[in-house]
Chain A
């Protein structure tokens, strides 16, 4: 479980996060949604320790991250998996080397053991046979799956995903969403996902934080978000024509 309490963060005098409180639950897919510029990525980077908030605390299973020593912070980061928006795969490494990278850096296992673990994880994300390909040789969806494999290879307790569906077709996006949800449940990890994609909210929104102008404007799950009358939320959720039509149909009782 990750708990953020009263997080404030500013850049050049402009306050981006204005006191966010939220609990990201273990074994669930926790979504942070909101418009561009609402502070989602800043909140994620504060949770990852890439930005230090001016005020507030971030607790990983009850321990405040910013009270940790450097060594403790590094140890915690070994338990964190991160899926970046563009995948952030290392171009000069093959798929296998990319996935093996965290293991090589932080474990003392023999190469044969590392290869076996990598094969296991690649199989889990349906990428057997792609070991020797370079990131430039595979599709965007496959790159995302490699990035997921790299994020989970070290068996993390916490998984962060920054817009995992961006640039993917709807079918591949659904596959990625379901994969993340399955991995979250299988391994009982705390997963935090930033997304704009309302389909993802529908698919895997088990615990949702809606940010608006740096404030937590709404929280709940996927069953509640489509029923709420809160205008701030409905403006965002029903901004696309498709969802507007779904909403109208619901209101008409179809």
Chain B
């Protein structure tokens, strides 16, 4: 029953976020601040992980291609498909649930504990709009992060496969272009956009409605990570079923 209550409360929160708007000039500043914290601040870790995971995918594919009848170009094809379809949009989003999601929950949760949210309400400010709307807008730029992740993942795969001596550069590049379906990119960015909304709102919900003190802020961050990950995985399955099958 509490799950039903929470789901209802979550959608009421979303309604509240798009309710009375904060002054435009203030909102503009908040959106840029959130883009800096949530998006720009994540580029380093996303780039690092993407490059090396791309390399690992290429090496593992290469090491498993024992049959001489299977062309080496498959290394690039397999790396491209796994990075574009799954690794960049979903795996990076799970990592972002840990990084960005925990940040959102703990920052809003701390504001709840220290009565900063009450202070906003007493001033007559729609605290849901003030705190969460800029995060949602900032997360609209999340597909750029995933585009960078896709690019660096493939660069990592290229570096590992070519510099590691598993395949020649020409063969890798030709495999990279084999049977390319543009819709796979559309599919990847549709789910990225949905994940962005999940990443902005579920952690915000856990922070905004938390009760208790500093210890509970930690619990809320953990719970938020778990639920954001679960919802991302389920949504991934549903969207894949709807768009690819």
Contact = CB atoms under 8 A, between A and B. Distances in A.
Interface of A: 48, 50, 73-75, 77-78, 80, 82, 84-86, 88-91, 101-102, 104-106, 160
Contact of B115 (A88, A102, A104): A88
Nearest to A102: B123
A102 B119 CA distance: 10
Contacts, number: 48
B119 A88 contact: yes
A86 B123 contact: no
Contacts of B22: 105
Contacts of A105: 22-23, 26, 123, 125
Interface in B63-120: 110-111, 114-116, 118-119
Contact of A86 (B23, B25, B115, B121): B115
B118 A88 contact: yes
A82 B23 contact: no
Nearest to A150: B119
A91 B124 CA distance: 20
B240 to A, nearest CB: 39
A113 to B, nearest CB: 15
Contacts of B242: none
Contacts of A75: 124
A85 B125 CA distance: 20
B244 interface: no
A145 to B, nearest CB: 16
A88 B114 contact: yes
Contacts of A50: 118, 121-122
The 5 closest A-B pairs by CB, nearest first: A77-B124, A88-B115, A88-B119, A74-B124, A82-B122
Contacts of A48: 122
B123 A88 contact: no
Contact of A91 (B26, B110, B123): B110
Nearest to B124: A77
A77 B119 contact: no
B119 A82 contact: yes
- A73, A88, A101, A106: most-surrounded residue (chain B CB, <10 A): A88
Contacts of A101: 123
Contacts of A90: 111, 116, 119
A4 B150 CA distance: 62
Contacts of B119: 82, 84, 88, 90
Contacts of B118: 50, 84, 88
Contacts of A91: 110, 114, 116
A115 to B, nearest CB: 16
Contacts of A82: 119, 122-123
Given A77-B123, A102-B123, 9 more contacts: A50-B121, A82-B123, A86-B114, A90-B111, A101-B123, A104-B23, A104-B26, A105-B26, A160-B122
A85 B116 CA distance: 11
6 contacts: A77-B124, A90-B111, A91-B114, A91-B116, A102-B123, A160-B122
Nearest to B113: A86
Nearest to A160: B122
A88 B124 contact: no
Nearest to B130: A105
Nearest to B110: A91
- B22, B110, B115, B124: most-surrounded residue (chain A CB, <10 A): B124
B21 to A, nearest CB: 12
Nearest to A75: B124
A74 B125 CA distance: 8
Contacts of A77: 122-124
A85 B123 contact: no
Given A74-B124, A77-B124, A102-B123, A88 B23 contact: no
Contacts of A73: 124
A78 B124 contact: yes
Contact of A84 (B23, B25, B115): B115
B199 to A, nearest CB: 20
A60 to B, nearest CB: 14
A101 B29 CA distance: 13
A233 to B, nearest CB: 30
A104 B123 CA distance: 12
Contact of A88 (B25, B26, B116, B125): B116
A84 B122 CA distance: 10
A85 B115 contact: yes
Contacts of B122: 48, 50, 77, 80, 82, 160
A95 B115 CA distance: 17
Interface string B164-186: 00000000000000000000000
